[in-house]
Amino acid sequence: MTEETRIEAIAAREILDSRGRPTVEADVLLAGGALGRASVPSGVSTGRHEAVELRDYGEVRFGGGGVRGAVRNVRQEIGPAVAGRDALDQGGLDAALVELDGTPAKERLGANALLAVSVATARAAAAARGLPPWRHLASGQPVLPLPMVNIISGGLHASGGLPFQDFLVVPVGAGRYSEALEIVYAVRSAAEVILAERGLSTLKADEGGFGPPLEHPEQALDLMDEATRRAGYRPGEEVAFAVDVAASHFAQEKSYELPHLGPLGAPELVRLLEDLTDRYPLVSIEDGLGEDDWEGWALLTHRLSARAQLIGDDLFTTDLARVERGIAEGVANAVLVKMNQIGTLTETIAVIERARSAGYATVVSARSGETEDPFIADLAVATGAGQIKIGSLAQSERLAKYNQLLRIEEELGPDAVFAGAGALGYAV
């Protein structure tokens, strides 16, 4: 450790996320003067196995959703405990944070408190080295990710009535990241025009997608097909589709309760997803079954893994032990990566590395409640994750990440590597 990279002080505060709810922001100051700042997101569609986001439940302010307790933990316990550590030793710092909390789900200090310090330390270390975070973290070839972009929202992200949570486009025909954004912009703009022509709402949901009053998944996919063609692209060739089913949120003890379809068993839900894959250029399905329906997931994987990317989000919750179980049982073929599901940067990177070593695709993801912090863009490039899921091309908290990737593409210049369609977790 050099004197310049010694952690000298840590500060924290309560700020607001994209839904106007409190979240934690931390500053890490190094002895050499380098400063790192990070803020953490929050999800509304959360899995039962995620690390605990500590909130001030029981208080009146913010309806019990404040994070003063988590902020206090950073100031009074985490800061003093890690002061004097070398910011360049990210693994050692994160191990110390996990040990300091001492609980399986990080419920004592809060995963939000731990993650803010973990990422702020990485930023401070990068600043001390005179590097952007993606260069500081990169251990191999930096790769610009293929974006998976929300067009239509349902589930817990909107009130339009669609049971599935997200309907997304994947610009599989793009040769560069910047070209991918151009394609998505054209399709999203066409979708907005179509909705207006039909007298349907163009109001935005949590992640910037449109939340029109549709009832069936086919209606959303048909709309995206029409928007793709109107934008001048060929569905399945230049633009493919993805869905986030978020099945845990309509799962009952022994069935899946989908409006207008009645209760479905896991085999029936798998057949529904298989039918959608037959009828549309559907290349990615996230959380097609519930978070603890391992048997249903095995069936889905058996039926569709050769034809579509099957992403575990609530299933895996960026937890290495759950990912290891998925690998052992041959369940899913891709992992959604959300830092705040696990609580430290080192644990997040370990999940990405293990998933990829087992042949699983990885998708770095934002949350529905985001901040303007663009760190996940740096993370996706540094780790070569291959894919990123941020939300729609709307709202500053989403655009901050998309724009950061544009800056990185510019900095890499002709050496920029774009993951493209080959990043999808199946034989495209």
| Residues with active-site annotation | 207, 338
Nearest to 167, CA basis, from 426, 366, 389, 353: 389
Q: Alpha-carbon distance 116 to 127, whole Å?
A: 16
**CB within 8 Å of 142: residues ≥ 6 apart:** 134, 135, 381, 382, 384, 408, 412, 417
Give the type of residue at 328. Answer: A
Dihedral angle computed from the Cα positions of residues 247, 150, 137 and 370, in that order, rounded to the nearest 10 degrees: -80
Q: Which two tokens stand for residue 422?
A: 């080959």
Long-range contacts of 93-99 (CB under 8 A, 24+ apart): 93/7, 93/118, 93/121, 94/118, 94/344, 94/345, 94/346, 94/347, 95/346, 97/343, 97/344, 98/343, 98/344, 98/347
Gap between the Cα atoms of 114 and 375, Å rounded: 15
**Angle, CA of 93, 94 and 96, to the nearest 5°:** 65
* Cβ atoms of 42 and 131 closer than 8 Å: no
Return the ∠ at Cα 167 (arms to 162 and 170), rounded to 5°. 175
E strand or H helix that includes residue 303: helix 294-304
Contact (CB, 8 A) for 10 and 117: yes
DSSP for 311-366? Answer: EESTTTTT-HHHHHHHHHHT--SEEEE-HHHH--HHHHHHHHHHHHHTT-EEEEE-
Tell me whether strands 334-337 and 309-312 are parallel, antiparallel or unpaired.
parallel
* H, E, C per residue of 103-125: CCCCCCCCHHHHHHHHHHHHHHH
